[in-house]
Structure 1
């Protein structure tokens, strides 16, 4: 377990002084964390364990008076925050620790005692900016949107719609048997479609007629637009008559979006590989994300725009608070939790928090760029490019999939490494949106153990490459590349370039070497200067390099 969007570790020494008394600074820090958790999704504060240690100090003892005083003082330092003190626990090493559970606030904004507002972003507590406060207020209302009761009674709903929904639930293997045994009315009540014989907004969305759905303030509407290579509009479909429930709408979009079914072909021996521009599972996940994370309190359609080289899906409402493009792979937030639950139980979406993992796996296997989310207060747009970045990587990952049993996250790693040929540990961590070395090891350890990946360098300079022996065994015609050249050989190559052409900048050297990454060239040049093999001009900008006179004479001999 490690710190994330809903877990925070605190060393006991941060809240207790040497005399065992509570420290004001430590309590204020706890209050900030509590407010940040409450304003997003809630969380747990584990006190007595430092994040980097993963366990409490051996034989650490916690007095129950400390826990009681901590929760009492903490409650006075934050407003609109629900706190629950949990029991003192003992770790297997004998050390004790305790935790405080923070409940999310659904209808109000949590603040510290001095009126400050914080939100949780990844594993950090951040002060809320003015635009965050506006979004926060909107989110509190949006969270309740599903359950707001309308003036439509259950008797006004077409009986066939209720029977259809109950039948869909009973036919799903994700639904427990005791739910399937309920009556039709009990099933729609269980899924919060009806409250006191009146439909909720969620109920209108699933069970209502066209005219009834139109009464929703901002109903679910979609536009599908296709552009040519000059980005001129050539075709448009729209779903704005409110005639379909979310499942019917989703299936109808997939049926009519024929441009999303196009595919690329490339040779593979005597056969040709076909890869769709957009995998059908990827389309489904992105569409579902747009539907479930749409803010139903903001006016606007969901737009699906298909260009010659990319697809863009835009929904009203920014990313939920606490989620950014840099942590979307590991952070979850349920804007419309009851809608998500129904779509999951109807097998229309993956489990909560697994959608982007699936998208990353699909794009990794197809050697395509990861989706690019862009968000502001009013909307969220996700762009997915159709281009295959490396055909060899597709064949290589297909070979690995047939010969090794790998997890989803291991395929994501392989996709990144295969596309780039060679990846620094720091770059790999950034692509995987992780900051902890232990978490990176959980992604790559088995790949190293099975000799699928090999490493070069140490610590932050560690590089990951596909094992050349595996490439040979795959019998795939992989073109040679200098991207994976080792440092000693690269240094010798740079010396040879400068023997032929003197006075070159790093960029000019890299141009002559072809596809060697500029970072590798720069690193080797600096090492050659440090060892006295190269000399350079005094310029800081556009500095030129040449072989030192002694080395030039040696080369000429």
Structure 2
């Protein structure tokens, strides 16, 4: 079966044969769909597939001449829309369907024949008017900054920078052997760092020295600002001398931004768990996103602002047209595609389309709220929060992640369901930025099949909630473990206890481990003393134990 039929995305549109051929056809509406897709990222029009079934009727046939007429009519109903590669295919069930490719209109605005402009956002076709039309015209007319050649040749940049970049490429598990086996010069050409011997702007960003990077109109510059509880500036670092390539700059920020490494302790069963204020993987993904999606054609630094309760990352250039705070989890739009290709090849960012999936997953696992996103035509700002919404959510998710194999989608959905206690399908779909029930089922069906999540009601009254047996399992899992705990686990627990309460009697340790067999505890403590892990002083009932001071 054709891979295009496996799932619907914002680049695929299914149309029943009835809407294309015959008396009930509506080709003007179909032309509007073509305009939508052309103004976004292009895609495929699949004719003869019922959206709900993803299958053509087994007896369905399509005439090539009729298909050609349809394409001719669609071209007459549209302007600046590329309809290419029409093909009739046969499904495994015997039915036929047609695929028409729609090219993205890179430099012009696609319109219907009566002058209307539409764009595809998610799986909806929406009209473009007013300021949005101006923005679309600006984006279509913008040159691709990365590929503009400079006056510098390959011989003008430090050779060690070339070697460093090509070595990193060859050491990456995301790059094919076909690319790795190329000469250095060919690798640079492949990643568009050079063009006919001249360095591109992208090449200067990666390979140039600080003087050459400084001559870019708007190079990659960063301001890192820390605020106290009164939101007064208390620390500031600027990276504006252009001495680093993007990877070096990322590592330098991670090293110097010590406030981003803070964490707090929370109870975790018998031990305590360290939870970072800001997950390291989330910080990296947000920073790389700011680097990759910054507009390099307008002035402005990237701002990293650290407050008492939140982290804000703001970059020049708003969200691309078609991407909003309400669909960013599922939309893919590449403002600087060649720069993004280098980030992906060097393992600096998630593969295309999965960046915000990762952010939502990590925030769910840490019991944090999802990011707040603010965007204007000139900037985009993402805010994440340090506080845990509910420690119970963190404990439950931690337990489930350790006892079940959960997908990324399931973890994200589960985080919402546990946090809300009980949530309607409508609200869950809204939070997960899903457009219909079918897509929501893809996110939660695994959870209901595993009996982790229960449902109540039907259709519009459908509710999701955590199965109460999960909580019972958690309690059952923790309490018996005190009696049946393996020795190595008990040893670790004793060390943790004596670190917090040095010079304790065995009876005092036992009081803090309610439910543990005291004979078992005494036996392990004696053994740890004999092996030199613990020391003791006093005699008989006054004997106390403490950690050995190992040299």
Question: Which bin holds the TM-score, normalised by the shorter protein?
Answer: 0.7 to 0.9
- Alignment of structure 1 residues 62-141 onto 2, 5 Å: 62-141=62-141
Superposed CA deviations along residues 18-71 of structure 1, whole A, max 9, x for unmatched, are: 3x9xx5xx2222222222212221111112223234323442222111110111
4+ long deviations beyond 6 Å: none
For the 8 Å contact 1:119–1:322, the answer to whether it is kept is yes
Q: How many angstroms does 1:3 deviate by?
A: 4.5
Equivalence for 2:226: 226
Distance 2:174 2:19 in 1: 45
Give 1:292 deviation, angstroms.
Answer: 0.7
- Give the drift of 1:193: 0.4
The CA RMSD measured in Å over matched residues stands at: 1.8
Query: Separation in 2 of the partners of 1:327 and 1:140?
Result: 21
Asked if 2 retains the 8 angstrom alpha-carbon contact of 1:453 and 1:466, the reply is yes
TM-score scaled to structure 2, two decimals?
A: 0.83
Once residues 53 and 267 of structure 1 are traced to their aligned partners in structure 2, the CA distance between those partners, rounded to angstroms, is 48
The whole-number CA distance in structure 1 between the counterparts of 2:363 and 2:190 is 37
**Distance in 2 separating the partners of 1:15 and 1:448:** 38
1:9 is matched with 14
| 1:203 is aligned to 2:203 | yes
Cα-to-partner distance string for 1:350-388 (whole Å, 9 max, x where unaligned)? 100001111111011111110111111111111111110
- Aligned counterparts of 1:91 and 1:181: Cα–Cα separation in 2: 39
Instruction: Label 1:276 to 1:141 Cα distance change in 2 as closer, same or farther (>3 A).
Output: farther
Could you tell me which residue of structure 2 aligns to residue 503 of structure 1?
Answer: none
2:481 aligns with none
Distance 2:126 2:143 in 1: 21
> Counterpart in 2 of 1:306?
306
> What TM-score do you get using the length of structure 1 for normalisation?
0.82
Residue segments in structure 2 that go unaligned for 5+ positions in a row: 1-5, 479-551
- Following the alignment from structure 2 to structure 1, what is the Cα–Cα distance between the partners of residues 147 and 241? 23
Structure 1: distance between partners of 2:381 and 2:373: 6
Tell me if 1:416 matches 2:381.
Answer: no
The aligned residue for residue 266 of structure 2 is 266
Call closer, same or farther: CA 1:220–1:476 in 2, change over 3 Å.
Answer: farther
Q: For 1:171 and 1:141, locate their aligned partners in 2 and report how far apart those are by CA, in whole Å.
A: 37
Greater alpha carbon shift after TM alignment, 439-448 vs 382-391:
439-448
Specify the SS of the correspondent of 2:264: strand
Are 2:189 and 1:169 equivalent residues in the alignment? Answer: no
Residues in 2 aligned to 1:305 and 1:143: alpha-carbon distance in whole angstroms? 31
* Residue 251 of structure 2: aligned partner: 251
1:51 aligns with 2:56: no
Q: CA deviation at 1:146?
A: 1.0
Q: Deviations 1:227-255 (Å, cap 9, x if unpaired)? A: 11111111111111111111011111111
Alignment of 1:446-465 (within 5 A): 446-465=446-465
In structure 2, C-alpha distance between the alignment counterparts of 1:362 and 1:258, rounded to whole Å: 20
Residue aligning to 1:551: none
Shift of 1:270: 4.0
CA distance in 2, matches of 1:129, 1:240: 38
User: Offset at 1:77?
Assistant: 2.5
Deviates more, 1:201-210 or 1:127-136: 127-136
For 1:274-293, what aligned pairs fall within 5 Å after superposition? 274-293=274-293
Distance 1:210 1:107 in 2: 33
Describe the SS at the equivalent of 1:146.
helix
In terms of mean alpha carbon deviation, does 466-475 or 279-288 score higher?
466-475
For structure 1, the residue ranges without an aligned partner over 5 or more in a row are 479-557
How do 1:269-418 residues align onto structure 2 when only pairs under 5 Å count? 269-418=269-418
Contact 1:410/1:444 (CA < 8 Å) preserved in 2?
yes
CA apart distance, 1:173: 1.3
